[in-house]
């Protein structure tokens, strides 16, 4: 998801509502020592005639000395609770072994100039690095293009974006530090690794992301950038993303504006080019709610708009002589349209793959084929068509697997990355007349084995009767007697799909008698746009009802019982956790919520929160305010309630979800919870939302999470 970084101006200043703020007690808060209650300083905000009291609004001021002291005290409190847990050191050793396993892992593959570029991870490295090789089967010829671990041995610098030139001789990258996702553009020579000296700041940001694309002659780069100092007021510096062109060696101050002045304040722009580089496509998202407009730049340099937000087109891909569009207008599960490159109107598009039972997730055109990657309730299938839409069968995939990404190489050949809940990712090659993919040398070596495990699909029924799939990972022969420690996760937002994913750390849970489950919730994209819309804006409560139904179903099937049930989620999944345990505290024993959103009435005040309005709604709208207020976790913490044990984690450099959400939620829960179960807050000074975190930081946080969950559920300590 995309979300916020810092506390922002008043609701009145944003025009969000008729808002009156009345401090009930104009005292300056003092910092609580370890174990002492957090000082309250009530503030009353009014929305559409409703008075809402906020006792901990002072914790939104990230840079205030008293807030920093409060965070330090919370971290001391958390360390005092987690460090003595029996077996904690063994957990850290197990995680270190998994994360440092002697195996290569490849992601984000791109084929340019007859070569393959990819991000690779390796044992001992803090950050993935960029490599190039002749093909996916020639790993012996692999070379490192850029290693951020060499640039910054601390592990705090990450490659946020990269784009090789069409001839494969140069690569543009955006480097970001401390998990901030604020990227600076650099250009490197692929053969020598030498930096060319071109540097452009603010090409990416956690609010609207960022993108890079090369000109057809490889002599310059199109890039997104955010306002520079003096161009916009301070409150707009994370908005108004635009597209510029930089000629290699030129002064960035002279870079040419290309597109974006008419785009929304919350635009998120993604750039791509035709195979020959002559055409440039800009996909502009209207925030995070799933609306897109597309603009095409022709070889003469003229831009024309080919789709609008209301057209329901979510993706556009270049074919050899046409564009292939994924459309949801009248087709919530998606249809594929063909539009000539020279067309001036979407009305010229023809349907080549009509809507079917599966949900179209990705379309990859090749010389004569269309590879259509579908979702079937979570798992993937890949259908093959010609450009006129005539079917040519489907690729043979492993059962209950996901195709994470697919790239065109040459002719009709493609590479795709696939994995299952139980088998590690690998890149496969497909093409020609054969529908049986072959595994390439780019495959992960599994650091653990799940040969003793199986995946079972259960079905829950939500409050309104909607069927909710629940994927269960368990050891074969698991006894269903209600005593199994069970870890249930979910997401349910932004149309993001919970596809089968190999997670080696689940081995720690299974080895201690546990069961892992994933709920497939509305708000996601597993069953199409109707499924997404059924869980966003004023329908968000459906997501929480679905999750609660999944938990109740696992209990009814005697996988577990409330005393043995833990839940986990991050980001939008952290919001899910907060809503679930505040609405049904008796249902869960322990909760891990990472980088979560908890105060739904003040989300949009943060820069990235504004991008989320198209997904969550706004307090400016009376109906949306009522829906937000009805489930906002922070506002539904009840004094004296017997809540589960809760671990909240966040990073100081999170530009997607303001860390203040976790601070305020921790303070409120600690004040309200009945004695007996801990509420802990872990704030990292070396991370953000999770993207770009160093491996050592990931291991440190995961050690705390697993130790917390094992102890709370009374699971045996690792040996």
Q: Would you state the torsion angle of the CA atoms of residues 561, 567, 573, 578, taken in this order, to the nearest 10 degrees?
A: 80
CA-to-CA separations, 142 to 115, 150, 152, 406, 412, in angstroms, rounded? 10, 17, 22, 20, 24
For tokens 């007859």, the residue is: 114
pLDDT at 115: 97
**Residue 77 reports pLDDT greater than 70:** yes
pLDDT at 102: 64
Answer for the pair 75, 419: CB distance below 8 angstroms, yes or no: no
Q: Would you state the torsion angle of the CA atoms of residues 204, 207, 213, 219, taken in this order, to the nearest 10 degrees?
A: -30
**Residue 20 reports pLDDT greater than 60:** no
How far apart CA 697 and CA 701 sit, in angstroms, is 6
**Residue 101 reports pLDDT greater than 90:** no
pLDDT at 224: 98
Answer for the pair 629, 601: CB distance below 8 angstroms, yes or no: yes
**Residue 153 reports pLDDT greater than 50:** yes
Query: How far is the first Cα of the chain from the last one, in angstroms, to the nearest whole number?
Result: 37
Q: Give me the count of residues in the chain.
A: 719
Rg (CA), the chain: 25
φ/ψ (deg, to 5) at 18:
-75, 105
Mean pLDDT of the chain: 92
How confident is the model over 164-222, as pLDDT tens digits? 999 999 999 999 998 889 999 999 999 999 999 999 999 999 989 999 999 999 999 99
How confident is the model over 403-452, as pLDDT tens digits? 989 999 999 999 999 999 999 999 999 998 899 999 999 998 889 999 99
CA-to-CA separations, 450 to 326, 475, 504, 512, 571, in angstroms, rounded? 36, 8, 9, 14, 28
How confident is the model over 106-139, as pLDDT tens digits? 999 999 999 999 999 877 778 999 999 999 999 9
How far apart CA 291 and CA 375 sit, in angstroms, is 20
Region 84-103: mean pLDDT is 90
Answer for the pair 690, 570: CB distance below 8 angstroms, yes or no: yes
How far apart CA 642 and CA 639 sit, in angstroms, is 9
| Diameter of the chain measured on Cα atoms | 75
DSSP output for 290-357? S-EEEEEE-TTS-EEEEE-GGG-EEEEEE-SSEEEEEE-TT-TT-EEEEEETT-SSGGG-EEEE---S
Which DSSP category does 253 fall into? G
Which DSSP category does 96 fall into? H
CA-to-CA separations, 544 to 497, 573, 577, 581, 656, in angstroms, rounded? 16, 10, 9, 10, 22
Region 603-614: mean pLDDT is 92
pLDDT at 475: 98
∠498-520-331 over CA atoms, to 5°?
Answer: 80
**Residue 14 reports pLDDT greater than 60:** no
β-strands 242-247, 515-519: how paired?
Answer: unpaired
**Residue 51 reports pLDDT greater than 70:** yes
HEC-encoded secondary structure of 583-650: HCHHHCCEEEEECCCCCCCCHHHCHHHHHCHHHHCCCCCHHHHHHHHHHCHHHHCCCCCCCCEEEEEE
> Which range is least confidently modeled, 48-52, 206-210, 564-568, 626-630?
206-210
How far apart CA 259 and CA 654 sit, in angstroms, is 28
HEC-encoded secondary structure of 563-594: HHEEEEEECHHHHHHHHHHHHCHHHCCEEEEE
Q: Is pTM, for the whole model, over 0.85?
A: yes
The closest alpha carbon to 651, from 663, 636, 669, belongs to 663
Look at the alpha carbons of 374, 380, 381, 386 in this order and tell me if their dihedral is positive or negative. Answer: positive
How many other C-beta atoms lie within 10 A of the C-beta of residue 9?
11
∠112-113-117 over CA atoms, to 5°?
Answer: 40
pLDDT at 690: 80
**Residue 288 reports pLDDT greater than 70:** yes
How far apart CA 243 and CA 257 sit, in angstroms, is 6
How confident is the model over 548-599, as pLDDT tens digits? 999 999 999 999 999 999 999 999 999 999 999 999 999 999 999 999 999 9
How many other C-beta atoms lie within 10 A of the C-beta of residue 398?
17
How confident is the model over 638-678, as pLDDT tens digits? 999 999 999 999 998 888 899 999 999 999 999 998 888 99
CA neighbours closer than 13 Å in the CB half-sphere of residue 668:
26
pLDDT at 35: 59
DSSP output for 101-127? -S--EEEEEEEETTEEEEEEE-TT-SS
DSSP helix/strand/coil, 368: coil
CA neighbours closer than 13 Å in the CB half-sphere of residue 208:
32
How far apart CA 651 and CA 700 sit, in angstroms, is 13
Region 389-404: mean pLDDT is 96
Region 339-348: mean pLDDT is 94
Sheet containing strand 515-519, edge to edge, reads: 453-461, 467-475, 515-519, 486-489, 565-570, 590-594, 645-651, 679-684
| Higher pLDDT pick, 542 / 26 | 542
CA-to-CA separations, 100 to 88, 508, 560, in angstroms, rounded? 18, 16, 33
How far apart CA 347 and CA 420 sit, in angstroms, is 40
Answer for the pair 663, 61: CB distance below 8 angstroms, yes or no: no
How confident is the model over 465-519, as pLDDT tens digits? 999 999 999 999 999 999 999 999 999 999 999 999 999 999 999 999 999 999 9
β-strands 280-286, 157-164: how paired?
Answer: unpaired
Helix (H) or strand (E) holding 700: helix 695-712
Residues with a catalytic annotation lie at: 571, 689
The pLDDT-based confidence of 56 (bands split at 50, 70, 90) is: very high
Both tokens of residue 370? 């269309």
pLDDT at 329: 96
Which residues lie closer than 8 Å to 451 by C-beta, 6 or more apart?
none
pLDDT at 19: 32
All domains of the chain in start order, with CATH: 11-96+453-712 (3.40.50.1820)
Count Cβ neighbours within 10 Å for each residue of 435-452 and write b for 16 or more, e otherwise: eebeebbbbbebbbebee
């Amino acid at each position: 998801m995309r979300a916020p970084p810092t506390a922002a101006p008043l609701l009145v200043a944003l025009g969000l509502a008729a808002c009156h703020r009345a401090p009930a007690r104009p005292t300056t808060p003092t910092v609580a020592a370890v174990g002492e209650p957090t000082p309250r300083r009530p503030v009353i905000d009014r929305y559409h005639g409703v008075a809402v009291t906020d006792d901990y609004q002072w914790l939104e001021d990230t840079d205030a000395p008293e807030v920093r002291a409060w965070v330090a005290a919370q971290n001391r409190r958390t360390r005092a609770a987690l460090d003595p847990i029996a077996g904690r050191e063994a957990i850290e050793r197990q995680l270190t072994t998994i994360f440092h396993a002697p195996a290569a892992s490849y992601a984000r593959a791109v084929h340019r100039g007859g070569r393959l570029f990819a991000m690779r991870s390796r044992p001992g490295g803090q950050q993935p690095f960029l490599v190039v090789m002749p093909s996916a089967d020639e790993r012996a010829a692999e070379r490192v293009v850029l290693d951020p671990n060499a640039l910054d041995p601390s592990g705090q610098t990450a490659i946020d974006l990269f784009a090789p030139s069409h001839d494969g001789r140069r690569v543009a990258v955006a480097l970001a530090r401390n998990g901030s996702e604020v990227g600076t553009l650099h250009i490197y020579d692929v053969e020598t690794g030498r930096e060319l000296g071109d540097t452009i700041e603010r090409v990416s940001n956690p609010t609207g992301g960022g993108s890079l694309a090369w000109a057809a002659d490889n002599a310059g780069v199109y890039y997104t950038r955010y306002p520079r100092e003096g161009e916009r007021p301070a409150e707009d510096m994370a908005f108004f993303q635009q597209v510029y062109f930089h000629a290699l060696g030129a002064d960035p101050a002279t870079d040419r504006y290309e597109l974006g002045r008419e785009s929304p304040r919350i635009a998120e722009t993604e750039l791509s080019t035709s195979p020959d580089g002559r055409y440039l496509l800009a996909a502009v998202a209207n925030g995070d709610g799933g609306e897109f407009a597309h603009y095409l730049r022709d070889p003469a340099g003229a831009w024309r708009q080919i789709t609008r937000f209301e057209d329901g087109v979510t993706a556009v891909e270049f074919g050899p002589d046409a564009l292939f569009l994924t459309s949801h207008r009248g087709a919530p599960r998606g249809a594929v349209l063909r539009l000539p490159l020279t067309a001036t109107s979407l009305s010229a598009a023809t349907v080549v793959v009509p809507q079917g039972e599966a949900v179209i997730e990705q379309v990859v055109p090749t010389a004569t084929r269309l590879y259509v990657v579908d979702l079937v309730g979570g798992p993937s299938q890949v259908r093959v068509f010609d450009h006129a839409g005539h079917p040519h069968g489907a690729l043979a995939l492993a059962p209950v697997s996901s195709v994470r990404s697919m790239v065109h190489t040459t002719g009709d050949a493609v590479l795709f990355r696939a994995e299952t809940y139980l088998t590690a990712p690998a890149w496969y090659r497909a093409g020609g007349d054969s529908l049986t993919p072959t595994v390439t040398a780019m495959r992960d070596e599994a650091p653990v084995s799940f040969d003793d495990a199986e995946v079972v699909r259960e079905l829950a029924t939500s409050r309104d009767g909607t069927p909710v799939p629940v994927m269960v990972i368990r050891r074969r022969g698991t006894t269903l007697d209600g005593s199994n420690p069970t870890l249930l996760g979910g997401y349910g937002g932004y149309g993001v799909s919970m596809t089968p994913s190999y997670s080696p750390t689940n081995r720690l849970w299974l080895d201690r008698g546990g069961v892992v489950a994933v709920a497939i919730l509305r708000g996601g994209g597993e069953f199409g746009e109707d499924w997404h819309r059924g869980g966003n804006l004023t329908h968000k409560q459906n997501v929480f009802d679905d999750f609660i139904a999944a938990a109740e179903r696992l209990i009814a099937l005697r996988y577990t019982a409330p005393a043995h049930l833990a839940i986990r989620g991050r980001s939008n999944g952290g919001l899910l956790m907060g809503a679930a345990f505040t609405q049904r505290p008796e249902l869960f024993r322990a909760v891990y919520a990472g980088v979560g959103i908890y105060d739904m009435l003040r989300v949009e005040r943060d820069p990235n929160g504004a991008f989320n309005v198209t997904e969550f709604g706004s307090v400016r709208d009376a109906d949306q305010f009522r829906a937000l207020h009805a489930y906002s976790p922070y506002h539904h913490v009840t004094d004296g309630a017997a809540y589960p044990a809760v671990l909240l984690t966040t990073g100081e450099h999170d530009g997607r979800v303001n860390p203040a959400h976790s601070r305020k939620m921790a303070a409120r829960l600690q004040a309200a919870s009945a004695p007996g179960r801990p509420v802990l807050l872990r704030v990292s000074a070396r991370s953000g939302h999770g993207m770009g975190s160093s491996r050592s930081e990931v291991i440190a946080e995961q050690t705390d999470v697993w130790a917390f969950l094992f102890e709370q559920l009374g699971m045996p300590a690792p040996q």
